[in-house]
Amino acid sequence: MNKIVQWSEIAPMFQDGMSVMFGGFMGVGTPQGIVAALLKSGVSDLTLIGNDTAMPEVGVGPLVSSGKVAKVIVSHIGTNPITGKKMIAGELDVDLVPQGTLIERIRCGGSGLGGVLTPTGVGTVVEEGKTKMAVGGKEYLLELPLRANVAIIKAKRADRAGNLVYERAARNFNPVIAFAADLVIVEVDELVEIGEIDPDLVMTPAALVDKIVLSQGA
């Protein structure tokens, strides 16, 4: 099965109203080429799920600025003033989730689990509307799984089968979201033949990857 696609094939993979999980932390590990293609596709009413909205020109910032995003589920928006402005103006729904809870909800969504019990958020606004459970005398919140229609991932290297290797701290959410979406699209800097990545060093197994596109300028 050929997973390698051209840039012209990326935009048609998106539709209005889709939920899109993205890798990256302050834009480091976000597939900027796919973000640009998504922006050009003109689709709207998107829900973005990932760590943060980075900065206006970085990460998913350009998508937020474009007005094509209806909702973000993130842990932090403080570095992108446009996200805050749109939230206050009522143009963007912002669901703030503690970072450790967000990644565990995604992990649950991708690994067949019905949720996770975490102490994080007990006694704060985060607990509002959630089921609380006591285990061993300690209180936990039941946090529910998160999945998306599409996951967009940035990897350093892929083989033609889709085994992935990430670079340094650009790993962050990427290997976790690879489990939690119906369609997994990866932007890579380097494409190698099958067998060239040591099996012990594979960070995301090829079985999770649907489409691979080579970074422009790589």
Partner 1 sequence: MEAKEIIARRVAQELKEGYVVNLGIGLPTMVPRFLSKGVNITLQSENGFLGLGPLEGEPMPGVVNAGGIPCGLVPGAAMFDSATSFALIRGGHVDVTVLGGLQVDEEGSLANWMVPGKMVPGMGGAMDLVNGARKVIVAMEHCTREGEARLLERCNPTHGKVPRLDGGYGTCRIQYFTR
Site residues (vs partner 1, CB under 8 A): 25-29, 51-52, 54, 74-79, 84, 87, 94, 96, 98-101, 103-104, 107, 118-126, 138-139, 156, 166-176, 203
Task: Please state the closest distance from residue 52 (CB atom) to partner 1, in A.
Answer: 7
Nearer to partner 1, 169 or 194 (CB): 169
Nearer to partner 1, 44 or 79 (CB): 79
Q: Is 200 left (phi over 0), alpha (psi -120 to 50) or beta?
A: alpha
Task: Please state the closest distance from residue 75 (CB atom) to partner 1, in A.
Answer: 5
Task: Please state the closest distance from residue 42 (CB atom) to partner 1, in A.
Answer: 29
Nearer to partner 1, 43 or 145 (CB): 145
Nearer to partner 1, 14 or 166 (CB): 166
134, exposed or middle or buried, with CB in 10 Å at 0-12, 13-18, 19+? exposed
Task: Please state the closest distance from residue 40 (CB atom) to partner 1, in A.
Answer: 25
| Interatomic CA distance for residues 208 and 182, integer angstroms | 10
Nearer to partner 1, 65 or 101 (CB): 101
Nearer to partner 1, 84 or 115 (CB): 84
Contact 50, 64 (CB under 8 A): no
